[in-house]
Structure 1
Amino acid sequence: MRAHVVRVAVMASVVALLLLAVPLAVAIRFAFLTDERGELERDAMAAVVRVGPDFAAGDPVELPSGGGGVRRAVYDASGTLRSGDGPSSGGDTVRQALAGHVAQGTSGGELVVAVPLSSGEQVVGAVRASTSASTVWGRVLWGWTALLGLCLVALVAAVLVARGQARLLSTPLEALARTSLAIADGDLTARADASSVEEIDEVARAHNSMVERLARLLERERRFTANASHQLRTPLTGLQLGLESALADPHADPRAALAEAAEQAHHLDHTIDEVLRLATTDTGTTAPAAAQPVADLLQAAERRWHGVLARDGRRLAVVREPETGRLRVPGRTTDQILDVLLDNAHRHGDGTVTVTLRDLGTALALDVSDEGSAVLDAQAIFRRGTGAGTGIGLALAREMAEGAGARLALSGTAPTRFTLLLPLDEDA
């Protein structure tokens, strides 16, 4: 790009210099020739003053002494040389002067000026002044050389300025290209810096905005992949274990196994819908989860997790007031958060896992506790990548809770207790 900018600037400078230099060269030639003819005319006028009216009758003529290469001559009315340095015949220029006006011309490589010589009201002769045209053209060539030198200086200055401007324009573009390559290599934190060129800054701002949007989209995709992997693993494991148990027991009722598998598949479908809903929450295109009676959610969670905990010799207890069971809460969201909290208690907790439902009047408090102890503080435990496992579950549970207008917090550490504050449905 730098070479292109310099080339364009040099071409523009050359065109501008030609448009300026050619008229100046013509003007220099015209000025020098006009100046020389004016000098010749003044010399001839000075000679006219020195020539008497009777020079044709034989009176001596005293012409001014020659200088600067100027030749002077006096001609009579017939155009014949009477005195001075000139051709024997005056030629066209002298004949025009004898007609009564100052004449200018060239003859034999000389610039010639002829001035009429009058006596009374009659032209009785002419004074001719001439100089070599090569002398004048030498001065013209010197002028043209000076003009050419100035043009070359201007062209060199234009090249230097063009190179500076090319560097000014290309440097931010080269930096923008390096930033784009860094982003293409996976560095989504790379951003284009501001420059002193407003148009390039506008491109850089648009580029940075595009990268930020791409980064958000990629982060959303990564989160969706991680969330889906985490949330689908547990129900798939339960479904697999149920089917394997039914196959291992020849006396087992296949209808019961199929019913359990159907319930697990139904829960998987809800899990996928909730993960997709969470992935598109910030786009505003997905409706909130439908409300369900909280008693139904607790019963379904108890069926899913009772056997899982029992295989490890642990017990699951659900405690709630009878009248709270009819209250409605965001169904799929609460279901998924319960799965995360029960899975966390199963993997990292100890002893009996207790789910307690409390009515706070304007909201429901759902406590999930076990007999273990939390080793992280109340804020760090909800950060992604924190803890002994994948570090996704609790962070995902808090995101789902906030997306539904609920709140999830670590409310106890010895024993460990998580509390989910659920907004009640408006029709509750």
Structure 2
Amino acid sequence: MVVAAIAVLLLGVPLGLVVTRLINDEAVQQLRAQATLLLSQVEYARIEDRPIDPGELQRQYPNRYVQIFIRNSPTVIVGTEPPPDRQMTEETHSESGVYVRITRDRAQVERNIRGWLTLIVALAGLALAVAVSLAVVQSRRLTLPLLDLARIAERLGSGDARPSRHRYGIPELDRVAEVLDRSATRIAELLSREREFATDASHQLRTPLTGLTMRLEEIVAAATQPAIVREEGEAAIIQAERLTAVIDELLAAARRQRHAQAEAICVDDVLQQQITEWEPAFRRSKRSLHLEGSRGLRALVSKGGLSQVVSTLLENSLEHGDGPVTITTGSSDKSIVIEVADRGQGIPEHIRARVFDRNVSGAGGTGLGLTLARALTASDGGRLELIRPRPAVFALFLRPADETARHRVVSGPA
């Protein structure tokens, strides 16, 4: 609506000025042509020695005030003189002593101008009305799906992880709906795995805990018999070791479920996406962001997790670093390596060893970003390390996409 209003003003105001000037110029040209024609008629009448007929002039020049001055002849006046403040006058003369003045009332011209300006204003109002109607229709077409997507997101936040399958015929909103549906499916799978883990844990831990309780009760009952106490104590240790083994197996199963989300992805795509998102912020800070190293590397990692880790490192470089930031990619026999480096002051000496600990920050931050980034990297089977403190260089070590070896977790007595 604002754009339409600006367009109407930019077009309507100059158009109104042009129309006003054209109408005024046309009136002046018409009056000048009439004065020239009247002069030629008077000259022709003098040549033929005919008197000037005021009635004929009145019919030929209606709504005009005509004055004819002829040397050695009386002045001829035709019509009614307009008020002085509304007069438009043109005059001409000949070498034979004929002087002609013709005047018209400016009010007629002003009425014509008002008529055209009214038409322009009406067209402008019609254009604005059409713009308002289109704006209302388009805003409803966009806001209703957005409200629906907001309800779906709120439902996901409350734990109802059912895909909506809603589509709206708008490509951008349909992509958002697809992402929400995928997130709902993933959340449902995670909730299902959490419930299965809780069920398995409660079932698997019940038997070792019962056995351990019974052995401890026997120890208490046989406190006066050293041999029995020793035997029952050894049995209790065995039960505790069984309990430790069960916990290790359950945790290993949870890790394997997290690793199952990792997939072979193109590292360049994730890095390019992050550069696109962060480049405006670096540009506002008059800093640059560069991507160097090997191209076409593929790693086993969850795309969302890698994006979060790289985003955390770039945010730290923006907030606490200085100079250009360089993302360098490379590979070795066992890892895909991504390094993020800037030219700032680096990590203070007193927190260098604890930079990944929770609630540790050297610049007034929350101290959670690097902790969560390292946890996300570890959950995908990778590592996040500080390889140089000043200037700071962080390195991500990820599993190559062609890695086929399986990682076994061996549990047993300590």
Q: TM-score range by the shorter chain?
A: 0.5 to 0.7
1:176-187 equivalence runs, <5 A: 176-187=149-160
1:71 aligns with 2:44: no
1:160 aligns with 2:138: no
Residue number in structure 1 paired with 2:77: 84
- For residues 108 and 191 of structure 1, do their structure 2 counterparts lie closer, same or farther at Cα, with a shift above 3 Å needed? same
Residue number in structure 2 paired with 1:424: none
1:83-162 equivalence runs, <5 A: 83-85=76-78, 108-116=85-93, 118=94, 122=95, 124-162=97-135
- For residues 123 and 256 of structure 1, do their structure 2 counterparts lie closer, same or farther at Cα, with a shift above 3 Å needed? farther
Tell me how far 1:179 sits from its aligned partner.
0.9
3-state SS in 1 of match to 2:9: helix
Tell me if structure 1 keeps the 8 A contact 2:68–2:99. Answer: yes
Distance 2:211 2:80 in 1: 129
Distance 2:142 2:97 in 1: 76
1:294-373 equivalence runs, <5 A: none
Tell me if structure 1 keeps the 8 A contact 2:65–2:102. Answer: yes
Tell me how far 1:207 sits from its aligned partner.
3.2
3-state SS in 2 of match to 1:115: strand
Distance 2:74 2:181 in 1: 92
- For residues 182 and 283 of structure 1, do their structure 2 counterparts lie closer, same or farther at Cα, with a shift above 3 Å needed? closer
1:50-69 equivalence runs, <5 A: 50-52=41-43, 60-62=51-53, 64-66=57-59, 67-69=61-63
Residue number in structure 1 paired with 2:303: none
Cα RMSD for the two superposed structures: 3.2
3-state SS in 2 of match to 1:189: coil
3-state SS in 1 of match to 2:155: helix
Residue number in structure 2 paired with 1:39: 30
Distance 2:21 2:158 in 1: 67
1:153-302 equivalence runs, <5 A: 153-191=126-164, 193-249=166-222, 251=225, 253-284=228-259
For residue 110 of structure 1, what is the amino acid of its counterpart? Q
Distance 2:79 2:96 in 1: 20
- Per-residue CA deviations over 1:204-226 (Å, capped at 9, x if unaligned) read 33333333333333333222222
- For residues 54 and 178 of structure 1, do their structure 2 counterparts lie closer, same or farther at Cα, with a shift above 3 Å needed? closer
Distance 2:36 2:7 in 1: 43
Tell me if structure 2 keeps the 8 A contact 1:182–1:190. Answer: no
Residue number in structure 1 paired with 2:3: 12
TM-score (norm 2): 0.55
Tell me if structure 2 keeps the 8 A contact 1:40–1:129. Answer: yes
Tell me how far 1:196 sits from its aligned partner.
2.7
- For residues 87 and 159 of structure 1, do their structure 2 counterparts lie closer, same or farther at Cα, with a shift above 3 Å needed? closer
- For residues 114 and 107 of structure 1, do their structure 2 counterparts lie closer, same or farther at Cα, with a shift above 3 Å needed? farther
TM-score (norm 1): 0.53
For residue 42 of structure 2, what is the amino acid of its counterpart? V
Distance 1:162 1:76 in 2: 68
Distance 1:148 1:155 in 2: 10
Question: Rg bigger for which structure?
Answer: 1
3-state SS in 2 of match to 1:130: strand
Q: Where does the alignment leave 5 or more consecutive residues of structure 2 unmatched?
A: 261-405, 407-414
Distance 1:241 1:200 in 2: 61
1:27 aligns with 2:44: no
For residue 166 of structure 2, what is the amino acid of its counterpart? D
Distance 2:127 2:62 in 1: 35
Aligned residues: 255
Tell me how far 1:265 sits from its aligned partner.
0.8
Tell me if structure 2 keeps the 8 A contact 1:74–1:125. Answer: yes
3-state SS in 1 of match to 2:89: strand
Residue number in structure 2 paired with 1:325: none
Tell me how far 1:176 sits from its aligned partner.
0.6
3-state SS in 2 of match to 1:196: coil
Tell me how far 1:124 sits from its aligned partner.
2.9
Q: Where does the alignment leave 5 or more consecutive residues of structure 1 unmatched?
A: 1-8, 89-105, 286-404, 406-428
Distance 1:125 1:194 in 2: 86
- For residues 113 and 267 of structure 1, do their structure 2 counterparts lie closer, same or farther at Cα, with a shift above 3 Å needed? same
For residue 181 of structure 1, what is the amino acid of its counterpart? E
3-state SS in 1 of match to 2:168: coil
